[in-house]
Each structure stands twice: as C-alpha cells, then as structure tokens.
Structure 1
Amino acid sequence: MKITNEMQEFFLSKIKEVLPKNTSLIDTVAEVLDISYDAAHRRTSLKSKLSLEESIKLSRHFNMSIDQLYEIGLQNVVAVEKTQVITSQEDLETYFKASHENLRQILAMKDSEIIYSAKDLPIFYTSSDNLLSRFKMYVWLQLLSEENNGIAFENFAPSVSLVSAASRLGELYANLKVTEIWDITTINSTLKQIHFYYKSTLLTNDIAIKLCNDLKKLVEMVEEKVANDLQYQLYYNELLLMNNTVLVKTPIIKTLFVPYTILSYYKTSDTQTLTQVDQHLQRQMRNSKLLSSAGKKEQRIFFNKMYKKIDALTYLIDAENVLDFE
C-alpha cells in the first residue's frame, strides 16, 4: 500500500504526542532512524516519504503498532503485530518475557488500566511458581510442542528461567488497575484439562487432587480481591461468550491483544478498532453484574458455583480411586 502524505503526517503526529515536552521530533527521528538532521527534516516536513522499514523502526521504538500509519487510508484494514509460534520451553519463556515487556512499557504510564474478557482463567493468575502454574505450562507445551508430548506431568521439568519469566508476568498484573469479565464457565477449561490428563494416566491421583486444591485457592484469592481490592473490579456475565480479549488503556494510547492460537496473540493500536472493542466491552459490562459492588450474598452465590464444580471433580477423582478393583 502506498504511503500518502496525509498518512505520514498522521503517523508522525502520533509519535509527537508521546514525546516528552520540548523534545524535537526532527532530532528524535534522526536518532531513531540513524539518518542526518536534514534527512529527518525532509521526512517530518513531508518532502520525503518514510519507507516501510523506517515506519516499522519508528513504531517499534515508540511501542506503537504500525497500523497507526494506516489509520487514514483503508478503514477496513488493520495492521497487527503478532507473537511468534510456541514450539518449545525456550519459545514459551520468550513469550512470557515479551508479554511482560509489552505490558510494562504501556502500564508505566499514569492512570493505565486493563480490561480482560476472560473465557479462560487469565494467564496472569497461572503465571507463578506453584503446581497449578507448572501444570498450565505442561498443558500448553503438550498442545503446542512435540518436545515433551506424552510425558507424565511428574516428569515435566520447566527450566528455572521459564518459571522466573512467568512469575514476573504474574507479579506485574498483581498491582494494576484491572477489570475482568467472567462467567462461571471461566474455570471450565482448567477443570477439563485436569480431568483429561488424569484419565490419560499422565497425572497421578494425588497430583490431580492437589491441582483441584490449587484451583480452589486461586478462586478464593479472586473472591478476596473482589471484597478488598479497590483497584479490582469483577463482572459476572451470563449472556455473552467471553473470548480472552485484553484491552490496555492509558490516557494517551490503547492497545488490544486478541488470541489467534492457544497463547499467541495479535496486538494492535488501531484507533477505530480499539474504539469499537472498548464500546463492545462497555456493553458487556452494562449487561453484567458488578460483583465488586454487589452484596456478600451475590458474591457467595457466584463463587459457590465454581467451588461446587471443583468439588465435583475432586469427588470424581477420589471415587474412581476408591473404586479401583485392581
């Protein structure tokens, strides 16, 4: 697609918005692109066109999506950045590190917040150094990689650096202003994974029970956040199917993360798309129950439904163990 003057002017104006006060746009472009002052001046004055490579270099330097360049042009085309395919522990570690860096830069801005539409448990809750987090890593690698396919969970050994990278991502999320939208099915995939690998004899009875207990502790932690964390809001939506959409909002920019495989995601800062997604999420919240401001009774009804699901799986595993006639 040809870059017009109007598109280039708009893109450069977005860069100028995020520059510190009294910082020269020309000097900045010259430094980032490693070109002369005169060459940078020709680009900022629209006498010369930015190449695609230069546009990408600028967008990466300022943590902006290249789609900022195309906001004036094709309104039905959105440029996205995507994460690499995960096929190994090393790839998964890189994923955690990149996710941490992406969020750290954006959320360092004042008054930033995250809206998370959670089809499954938010990945941040299972990014730490405990049994449930290691199990989730095991499941992801079983599904995405041939490296450890078919090994029992007790023989799975994530590297120290992988666990550390996951933990840093989880810790980053713990101190943010967060809004989450759940249904009681949000824990279903984790319950199914525990049951599947138990039935496949890749999880022992004892470990399966411990994973159920860890899952219950996680839900208890969320229940406590609802009651005590003023930065945290949890909505219960019974009407719409969640899809693990993550919208990061700051006073200056918004960024959307949308999954396209189990873990990999597309990232975009396209203004029109973000406005539409934000409006969609706001509608979801209007059609949801805000548990953070609901009474204790409403909160208990919601969380008890999930505790009963976990208890049911625990009972099933225990019963099968008791009925083992061999």
Structure 2
Amino acid sequence: MQEVFISHLKAKSRDNTSFVDEIASVLDIGYDAAYRRINLKTSLSLEESVKLAKHYKISLNNLFEVGDPNTILTQLSPRPSNEKGLELWFKQSLQNVIPLTKIKDAEIIWSGKDISLFRTLTDSHLTRYKMYVWLKDLDIEMAKSKITFDQWVKTIPTSLLQSAFDLSDIYNHINITELWNDNTVNGTLQQVLYYFEAGLVSKDMALLICDDIHDVINHIEAQTIRQSINELQNEKFFRLFKCDLHTLTNTAMIVTPHQKVFFSPFTVLSYFKIEHKDTCDMMHEFLEKQMSISKLLATSGERDRTIFFKTIHQKISIVKERINMDDKMSFL
C-alpha cells in the first residue's frame, strides 16, 4: 500500500527539485528519514500520510477505495462570485486540462446541451457577453445592479480576458469529440433574447453577439468537414456527432491511454470532477453508446451535414429578426 502511495506522490511531484528533499520538507524530517520512507524501509505514520495527501492533493479514500463500494468521492470546483473569482476559475480550469496537451492520444469528449465553454472564450463579443451572464448569475452585487452589458463590457479587466483566452487555446492542441443536437445552440440564443428584452443589452450589441454565434458555427462546420481541429489536417482530430435520441448534459470527459476523468455540471460554472475508475468507465461506455447511434457528420453525407448546420444558422437568424422586430415595435 505504501509503495502505491509513494508512486502516486512521485507522479505529482515537481520536476525541478529532488523528490527526497521535497518529502523531507513536507514532513519536516531529515533527508535520510525521508529516503527510508520513500524506499519502504520505514513505514509512514497515518499523520504523515494525511499530511502528504493534503500537500499533493491526493484523496486517500479514492486511491485505496475506502468505504462503501457504491459511494464515490468527487472534487467540487471553486464557485466564482465576482470578476476576480471568475479569473481564478479560468486559471484553475486551465491547470486541470493543460497536462493533456503533453499526452499524444488524449481526447476531450463534450456532451453538448450548450455550445462548449472552450468555443465561447475567444476574442469576441460573445465571450464578453458570456462573462456578463455568468457574473449576473454569480455576483450578488452585480445581480442587484442595473449595469447593462454595453456599460460593463468597457470595464472588463485585461487579465480576466487573457485567462479566458488561455483556457480556450487548449482546444487547439488536443483531440476533440463533440455530441450535438438541434437544440445545442438554444441556451445561448435564449440568453441573448432574455437580456435584450430586459433592456440590458442594446440592439446593436445583441446583433453583434448573434453574428459571433454564426462565426462559431461556421468554424465548427469547417472543422467537421476536414475532421481536424486546425488547418494542419491530421494534427488533432475533430469529430462531431448529431445525437437525436439521448438528452445531452454538458458533461466533459477526458480520456488518455492511462486514465479517464469527467466533469459533471453542478450549478452555474460549478462542476464535479470525478476520477473514480469504475464510474468513469461507465460514463465513457455511455458516451460511446451515444456515438454509435448518432450520425458522424463528417461521413454521414453532405445532405445531412448541410441540413444540420443550416438549421442552426436559421435559428440564429430568427433571433436576429426578432431583435430587429422588437426594436421596430418599441413605440407601442
């Protein structure tokens, strides 16, 4: 058991220092004493094990499957409550996924009830609008205020935007599979209409946000056709499935040759991080089942692919027409 524990600690340790020195520092013991523990010549005490687990952020229960076999442990993400908190959330989310770029065959699978978070964090009006919507939900003071998006967008900290762009960039360096249906874009469009009709987004800005959504869909269609994330085909693959049977959930699953982990939504921007092997295997099996009964739009035929993306673009255009109509009817 201690051997397994030590091996996990080594995997979590920093590369720029001696592992023995690191253990000695955490436990506040001498080099020789740390060496003996690492080489299993001296047993770790319970107190030492807990101290090391906390330092390296390892769950002893999860590692050794302590407790009810039908009960699993999850990690809850931080809940941002203001601009600083949102920036921290972006940075911590980046740390969760950046190691994937170093693993050749790593893949993100997105079950898209909504457009993927990564696709709405580019340098666009849509990105800034998404931040506004999140903060209106999470920041009590901002929720009470009458600040409009047009006012708030002029005050966004550069560091907040950069943290979002850094997270979005991960999507360019990893294999991606997404499951969509005809309703995946609906939530984002409903948000635009809601805040426009509430008078918190101007007509011009609402139309620009809709144009950005058109751009996102055009970009996804191009990736779907070439089956690649970027123009260097076969660098990192992209697969888009149209799922007509099961409800999609905004679950993101990360699959590597060595491990699976998935993130399940909890509240606005909050998620459960689940690493329990059997549960992750079950989720992966379910997602693969969804793919098997869905259409892979790159190979299903030009007609099916064209109809799918045309339907989404029509929804965006209908929202734009409604925004323009509401403006024309405002004298009543």
TM-score (norm: length of structure 1): 0.87
- 1:85 aligns to 2:79 (yes or no): yes
Displacement after TM superposition at 1:316 (Å):
1.1
Displacement after TM superposition at 1:160 (Å):
0.6
CA distance in 2: counterparts of 1:267 and 1:291, whole angstroms: 29
- 1:312 aligns to 2:307 (yes or no): no
TM-score (norm: length of structure 2): 0.86
Which residue in the other structure is 1:98 paired with?
Answer: 92
Aligned-partner residue type, residue 36 of structure 2: H
Label 1:91 to 1:30 Cα distance change in 2 as closer, same or farther (>3 A): same
What does the per-residue CA deviation read over 1:156-199, in whole Å, with 9 as the maximum and x for residues that have no partner?
12211000100111111122110111111111110100000011
Label 1:67 to 1:166 Cα distance change in 2 as closer, same or farther (>3 A): farther
Please state whether the residue corresponding to 2:186 is helix, strand or coil. helix
Displacement after TM superposition at 1:65 (Å):
5.6
Which residue in the other structure is 1:222 paired with?
Answer: 220
Q: Is the 8 A contact 2:113 2:250 kept in 1?
A: yes
CA distance in 1: counterparts of 2:150 and 2:90, whole angstroms: 23
Label 1:95 to 1:251 Cα distance change in 2 as closer, same or farther (>3 A): same
For 1:91-130, list aligned pairs within 5 A: 91-130=85-124
Q: Is the 8 A contact 2:20 2:34 kept in 1?
A: no
What does the per-residue CA deviation read over 1:299-321, in whole Å, with 9 as the maximum and x for residues that have no partner?
11111111111111111111222
Please state whether the residue corresponding to 1:258 is helix, strand or coil. strand
Which residue in the other structure is 2:140 paired with?
Answer: 146
Q: Is the 8 A contact 2:77 2:270 kept in 1?
A: yes
Please state whether the residue corresponding to 1:311 is helix, strand or coil. helix
Displacement after TM superposition at 1:27 (Å):
7.0
CA distance in 2: counterparts of 1:75 and 1:56, whole angstroms: 23
- 1:256 aligns to 2:262 (yes or no): yes
Q: Is the 8 A contact 1:88 1:141 kept in 2?
A: yes
For 1:154-233, list aligned pairs within 5 A: 154-156=150-152, 157-228=155-226, 229=228, 230=234, 231-233=237-239
In the alignment, structure 2 segments of 5+ residues that lack a partner are 229-233
Please state whether the residue corresponding to 1:91 is helix, strand or coil. helix
Aligned-partner residue type, residue 290 of structure 2: Q
Which residue in the other structure is 1:273 paired with?
Answer: 279
CA distance in 1: counterparts of 2:243 and 2:183, whole angstroms: 10
Please state whether the residue corresponding to 2:183 is helix, strand or coil. helix
CA distance in 1: counterparts of 2:300 and 2:35, whole angstroms: 56
Task: Say how many residue pairs are matched.
Answer: 314
For 1:67-78, list aligned pairs within 5 A: 68-71=62-65, 73-78=67-72
Label 1:47 to 1:74 Cα distance change in 2 as closer, same or farther (>3 A): farther
Displacement after TM superposition at 1:283 (Å):
1.0
CA distance in 2: counterparts of 1:249 and 1:174, whole angstroms: 16
Which residue in the other structure is 1:234 paired with?
Answer: 240
- 1:41 aligns to 2:22 (yes or no): no
Higher mean C-alpha deviation, range 66-75 or range 121-130: 66-75
CA distance in 1: counterparts of 2:35 and 2:251, whole angstroms: 38
In the alignment, structure 1 segments of 5+ residues that lack a partner are 1-5
CA distance in 2: counterparts of 1:14 and 1:285, whole angstroms: 33
Please state whether the residue corresponding to 1:116 is helix, strand or coil. strand
Displacement after TM superposition at 1:101 (Å):
1.4
Label 1:19 to 1:159 Cα distance change in 2 as closer, same or farther (>3 A): closer
Displacement after TM superposition at 1:53 (Å):
3.0
Q: Is the 8 A contact 1:65 1:81 kept in 2?
A: no
What does the per-residue CA deviation read over 1:70-95, in whole Å, with 9 as the maximum and x for residues that have no partner?
43553222222222221100000000
Identical counterparts, % of pairs: 32
Label 1:202 to 1:41 Cα distance change in 2 as closer, same or farther (>3 A): same
Label 1:199 to 1:232 Cα distance change in 2 as closer, same or farther (>3 A): same
CA distance in 2: counterparts of 1:11 and 1:278, whole angstroms: 26
Aligned CA RMSD, in angstroms, stands at 2.6
Please state whether the residue corresponding to 2:262 is helix, strand or coil. strand
Q: Is the 8 A contact 1:257 1:267 kept in 2?
A: yes
